[in-house]
A and B are shown apart, each in its own frame.
Chain A
Amino acid sequence: MRAAALEELGQLRRPEPLADMRALLRDPVAEVRAAALGAVCAIEQEAAVPTVLPFLDVRIAPEAVVRAAAAVALIRHAGIDGVLAAAEPLKQLLGAGDPRDRAAAADALGRIGVGGFFRPLLAFLRDPDLIVRRAAIAASGKLRASELVAALVEQFQRRETALEAVSALAAFGPGIEGALEAILLDEASQVDCRRGVALVLQRLATREAADALVSALICREPAVRKAAARSLARLTRRHRGVRIEGARVERAVHVELAGARTVLSIFKKLPLPAAGHVPRTAAELLGMALLEERDARVLQALVLLEVLLPRVRVDVVAENLRSESGAARGNAIEVLDNALPEPWKREVMANLEESKRRGDQVVPDGRPVAEIVSALIGGECGPWVAACAARWALDGPVPLARLLPALEAGLHAAPAPLREAAALAVARAAPAEASRLLAPLAGDPAPSVSRTVRALLDRSAPRASA
């Protein structure tokens, strides 16, 4: 409270309580002394230099937070003399070995607020110490230098700094949408970074931010599409005035529903038993994964329909679509039936297999089973379905040899469960070549993959020597 009061008085530049404020320069709490330095200097300006100067000395002020506050006060309020006096001590803090000193320096740069001082913050954003990175993130939000945007987006890769990075980037305000959109749409960028960017765009809530989110609705990565749709729905719900390009959102809804239709038609074609709620075999799990993928795409379409039809609230309904309770799901279907206008209702209901019109019903995929399974392993219906399909292939629904090209490609796919399942299937499909094909995965970064592959290689080794 003392520190907050001092900061307030410093901003008001009221000289009456100056004596009391000066007394607090000897307060036992470092943060209070730091605030007192800023307040006194804000009021006395150049005249405060002799008072503040000693606090740059580590022997007078062993706490980095006090030395940093003294440097900030001199630079902000004490003219050229202050700047010259504070420069060297601040540089020492910037290069200090103690993380508390570096964190105080990062905080000082934020308080000084000069955009050109972004370079030390760039280094601090990659500091090995978390407290330094946190201070640098907060300071970056105050500096608002465009050079810091990419380094702040990198923070989304770490859970402990992700939310702070969202706040810091949102503090930049309008003007960074272009840079964020480039990252959001870059399929080579890290997924967590792209999802974090969607949250920032939601917070910016500008027309440009909404446009960027709309552009991401048809990107390849499902997690990014989902994040963009949810951010866009929240943005439009909270900021009714922001104009959205409805035609592009409509296209995205059609893409999602068409995807759901494809998944459902594949499910209907493959000889998969009904799983109920607890799958017991790989075939049942693949069936469940396909239906979950269908549901995910329908849910994504419903989220986007909320953007197009703000009066239709389908989020709770959507939640109940996945319910284990038949009554809850039935109720959700009924609400959707009443709430959705045509032509959306027909498309959604057909995908949920609730359509009474014969012409709307989804028919089984026309391709041969082997071709479908190859396409699934290749990722046609998402990474998890691909892993389940590769594992199901082991049970022999189609001759494994016909799936070998897709399985070999699966060995190098990004999702670890797919690499693992593909390794098991390749070892069965091509035992003579298993060592050559699998050896590169023995050092796979995913323990599940490397363990499985090493066990497979151990098993195939005696056979090879025999």
Chain B
Amino acid sequence: MISTVEKVLFLKSIDLFRTLPSEELAQIAEIAEEQPLAAGDQVFAQGETGDALYLIVEGKVKVHQGSKELVRLGERDVFGEMAVLDSEPRSASVTAVEDSVLLKIGRDDFRDILGERPEIAMGVMKVLTRRLRETSRK
């Protein structure tokens, strides 16, 4: 079981949250739900409505469309992050390839926090802006 302080330590190592003060991350940590997975467990399926973002604490998952593997993600990778901002269907499925532990942050909880704490929303916007700039440069 991961305590709130440990979750903050973990979130601080994730690009999306790195620049947020740790006290603000504590609020996100409180809504981040630990989700253990066995190898072969599906996190979500292609076409489902996105309702959460996931952070890999331990283990590995594969992102795939049917039997075609698109990418393999490991510790500290994030997936499904756009789903907290829109509700588009998932473009691919995600399945654990080994025993893994994820942190799941539900869209509604996350949006509540963004609404209540503009400084957190500002932090997320800064990260998205930075990513956009980096994409434009490439």
Binding site for B on A (CB under 8 A): 159, 192, 277-282, 285, 288-289, 292-293, 296, 322, 324, 382-384, 387-388, 391, 416-417, 420-421, 424, 446-448, 451-452, 455
Contact = CB atoms under 8 A, between A and B. Distances in A.
B46 interface: no
B107 to A, nearest CB: 15
B114 to A, nearest CB: 10
B9 A285 contact: yes
7 A-B pairs closest in CB distance: A384-B23, A391-B5, A417-B4, A159-B115, A292-B21, A278-B13, A448-B4
A280 B3 contact: no
Nearest to B34: A451
Contact of A451 (B1, B19, B112, B115): B1
A438 B115 CA distance: 34
Contacts of A282: 5, 9
Nearest to B13: A278
Contacts of B18: 277-278, 324
Contact of A448 (B3, B12, B22, B115): B3
B12 A278 contact: yes
A292 B8 CA distance: 14
B26 A417 contact: yes
Contact of B9 (A277, A280, A382, A452): A280
Contacts of A296: 21
10 contacts: A285-B12, A293-B23, A322-B21, A324-B19, A384-B22, A391-B5, A417-B26, A448-B3, A448-B4, A448-B29
B116 interface: yes
Given A278-B12, A278-B13, A280-B9, A292 B3 contact: no
Contacts of B3: 391, 420-421, 424, 448, 452
A289 B9 CA distance: 11
B28 to A, nearest CB: 12
Contacts of A281: 9
A324 B3 CA distance: 27
Contacts of B9: 279-282, 285
B5 A285 contact: yes
Interface residues of B, number: 19
B86 interface: no
B30 interface: yes
Given A416-B30, A417-B30, A159 B112 contact: yes
B42 to A, nearest CB: 25
A446 to B, nearest CB: 7
A288 B23 CA distance: 10
Contacts of B21: 292, 296, 322
B22 A288 contact: yes
A278 B18 CA distance: 7
Interface of B is mostly: helix
Contacts of A280: 9, 13
Contacts of B23: 289, 292-293, 382-384
Given A277-B18, A292-B23, A452 B30 contact: no
Nearest to B30: A448
Interface in B1-60: 1, 3-5, 8-9, 12-13, 18-19, 21-23, 26, 29-30
Contact of B1 (A288, A383, A388, A452): A452
Contacts of B30: 416-417, 446-448
A388 B4 contact: no
B4 A416 contact: yes
A451 B116 CA distance: 25
A163 to B, nearest CB: 10
Contacts of B115: 159
Given A279-B9, A279-B22, A421-B3, 17 more contacts: A159-B116, A278-B12, A278-B13, A281-B9, A285-B8, A285-B9, A384-B23, A384-B26, A387-B5, A391-B5, A417-B4, A417-B30, A421-B4, A421-B5, A446-B30, A452-B3, A455-B1
A293 B22 CA distance: 10
B4 A387 contact: yes
A446 B26 CA distance: 13
A384 B5 CA distance: 10
Contacts of A324: 18-19
A355 to B, nearest CB: 24
Contacts of B8: 285
A370 to B, nearest CB: 20
Contacts of A452: 1, 3
Contacts of B22: 279, 285, 288-289, 292, 384, 388
Interface string B101-118: 000000000001001100
Nearest to A281: B9
A258 B68 CA distance: 60
Contacts of A277: 18
The interface centre, meaning the residue of A285, A420, A421 with most chain B CB atoms within 10 A of its CB, is A285
B130 to A, nearest CB: 11
Contacts of A288: 12, 22
Contacts of B5: 282, 285, 387-388, 391, 417, 420-421
A283 B19 CA distance: 19
A74 to B, nearest CB: 41
A455 B21 CA distance: 29
A277 B18 CA distance: 8
A391 B8 CA distance: 12
